[in-house]
Amino acid sequence: MSDNLSDSKRKRIAILYGGRADEHPISCISAGSVLRALDTSKFEPVPIGITKNGTWITDGVDPREWNLGSGALPAVEETASSRRVVLDPSAGSEGFLVFNRQTGKNESLGHIDAVFPVLHGPYGEDGTIQGLLEMMGIPYVGCGVFASAACMDKHYTKVLLSQAGIQVAPGITLDTRSYHRDSHFVADGESLLQAVDRAGLQYPLFVKPSRAGSSFGVTKVDFSQDKSLLMNRLSAAVFEAANHDWRVLIEQGIDGREIECAVLAARPGSLPETSLPGEVVLDAPDDDTFYDFDSKYMDSQASHVEVPAHLPQKLLEKVRQTAGQAFLAVDGQGLSRVDTFVTADGQVLVNEINTMPGFTPISMYAKAWEAMGLSYRELISRLIDGALN
């Protein structure tokens, strides 16, 4: 009887993970970490996975079995025991249904009090899932539709931040839809070089898709006196980025340190709190190394996190202030990780804003708050409690 009473007091939280984006496996690992740390005396988790082709399922492989460094990256897949999840937006918190294979009918998955969309990248972190949940009237963890969409698009993030007087890396934006001719992608290296020169960009350059995360499609382009070689490098980099998004940025590399700051505003309308800024330190860097996908997720020996970053106190406070301003400038809510560049002369430039940062065991967001005395479990509880209130 007491168990039933306890269960009735717990809030049922749907944990969404997987998704159609390139970051699918990272979402799976993040969700596993969240589920392992969730305070089950307060919350009843309802894991819902989204396959790479967009099918929603429950009762598949338990995400808590997935960890970093276990070999192949995990993926949400339908199994003999899994059940497809169907949504009825008009039913609100009662609108999560599961398909019963025996009866051929949809049945209720039960009341859902709130959703924690542990989804990274397009179709999850870009305002799409947030818009769906808004339509259903279901509380959820994280930024709203506008902030999610704007911060997913690096071009528009820079537009908003620049308007707010916040420094960003110099760069140009390309529309590569016109580069497709006769089923072939043709990037005019000469025109690209001219555009870079007109903008006064200095090398090295970083070419990146505007709407992608986890360093997918990012290429570093170093200067070469050989014009043909340089044109080929630029063309190849633009082609790689365009595989992920037709909008492509060419940004000037900033001679500075990459410093990240976690932001928390769990309750809607609350002012943001900022963590001590941290730094991901590559343990075996060389001139061609940058913090790519493998460094972030696949090789736990490639880097380590230092919180606080080894910077003067004034600079640490400047990063925190800039992160808070950036969060407000994009109308942030819930949480974000603001990534900055700190130059030798003390400038702080915002690189990007991640509205659903990684929640893997080696991710910066949780580590930064742990350094502030907020444990991983307490952090997750604050985020969910904030959404519920």
Question: Can 279 be counted among the known catalytic residues?
Answer: no
- Report the 3 state secondary structure along 16-72: EEECCCCCHHHHHHHHHHHHHHCCCCCEEEEEEEECCCCCEEECCCCHHHCCCCCCC
DSSP string, 207-266: EEESS--TTTT-EEE---S-HHHHHHHHHHHHHHHHTT-SEEEEEEPPSEEEEEEEEEE-
Residue type, 173: T
Q: How many CB atoms lie within 10 A of CB 175?
A: 10
Q: What count of Cα atoms within 13 Å lies in the side-chain half-sphere of residue 316?
A: 15
Question: Can 23 be counted among the known catalytic residues?
Answer: yes
Binding residue per annotation — 367? Answer: no
Dist CA 251 CA 208 (whole Å)? 8
Q: How many CB atoms lie within 10 A of CB 104?
A: 7
User: One of 27, 33, 210, 214 is an active-site residue; which one?
Assistant: 214
Binding residue per annotation — 370? Answer: no
Question: How is residue 97 written in tokens?
Answer: 């249904």
DSSP state at residue 168? B
Binding residue per annotation — 251? Answer: yes
User: One of 27, 148, 363, 381 is an active-site residue; which one?
Assistant: 363
Binding residue per annotation — 188? Answer: no
Dist CA 246 CA 210 (whole Å)? 8
Binding residue per annotation — 4? Answer: no
Query: Which of 268, 386, 372 shows the shortest CA–CA distance to 320?
Result: 372
Binding residue per annotation — 256? Answer: yes
Binding residue per annotation — 208? Answer: yes
Binding residue per annotation — 105? Answer: no
Dist CA 381 CA 122 (whole Å)? 26
Q: 364 with 337: CB under 8 angstroms?
A: yes
Question: How is residue 307 written in tokens?
Answer: 């919180």
Dist CA 74 CA 56 (whole Å)? 16
Binding residue per annotation — 354? Answer: yes
Binding residue per annotation — 9? Answer: no
Binding residue per annotation — 255? Answer: yes
Binding residue per annotation — 352? Answer: yes
Binding residue per annotation — 206? Answer: yes
Binding residue per annotation — 296? Answer: no
Binding residue per annotation — 253? Answer: yes
Binding residue per annotation — 44? Answer: no
Question: Can 214 be counted among the known catalytic residues?
Answer: yes
Binding residue per annotation — 131? Answer: no
User: One of 23, 125, 260, 279 is an active-site residue; which one?
Assistant: 23
Residues annotated in a binding site: 154, 206-208, 214-215, 251-258, 339, 351-352, 354
Show which residues are catalytic. 23, 214, 363
Residues annotated in a binding site for ATP: 154, 206-208, 214-215, 251-258, 351-352
Residues annotated in a binding site for Mg(2+): 339, 352, 354
